[in-house]
Amino acid sequence: MRTERQQGFESQKVLVPQAEQALENLKNEVATELGLNQKIQTQGYANMSPYEVGQIGGQMVKRLIEMAESNMSNGTTPKPATMQESPSTQQITQQTQQTQQNQMS
């Protein structure tokens, strides 16, 4: 039986599937630098403390922000993939209103 913590960790999905391997590499790189890689290999992420997992995630976020800022300072400001693929606000509003109307019927 999986714990709630394990289910939450596994439910996180990558927003841009093409970046999944790069994010995994970054996670492993950060874990190695923090001296946690051996523990991950023997125990797995699900059995690590929230503090340890938070250290890895925090460093990943910091580096991703640094990369984005660097790209922006070089004039590279691509539109996030999630914005390109997501439905418009108008579509979401219409769907929400339709759902609410169906629930009231």
- Could you report the per-residue pLDDT of 4-58, keeping only the tens digit for each? 444 444 556 778 888 889 999 999 999 999 999 999 999 998 899 999 999 999 9
Average pLDDT over residues 85-93: 58
Q: Model confidence at 102, in pLDDT bands (50, 70, 90)? A: low
What is the pLDDT, as a whole number, of residue 83?
A: 53
DSSP the chain: ---HHHHHHHH---SSGGGHHHHHHHHHHHHHHTT-HHHHHHH-GGGS-HHHHHHHHHHHHHHHHHHHHHHHHTT--PPPHHHHHSPPHHHHHHHHHHHHHHHH-
What is the pLDDT, as a whole number, of residue 16?
A: 81
Is 51 or 85 the better-scoring residue by pLDDT? 51
Q: Domain locations in the chain?
A: 16-78
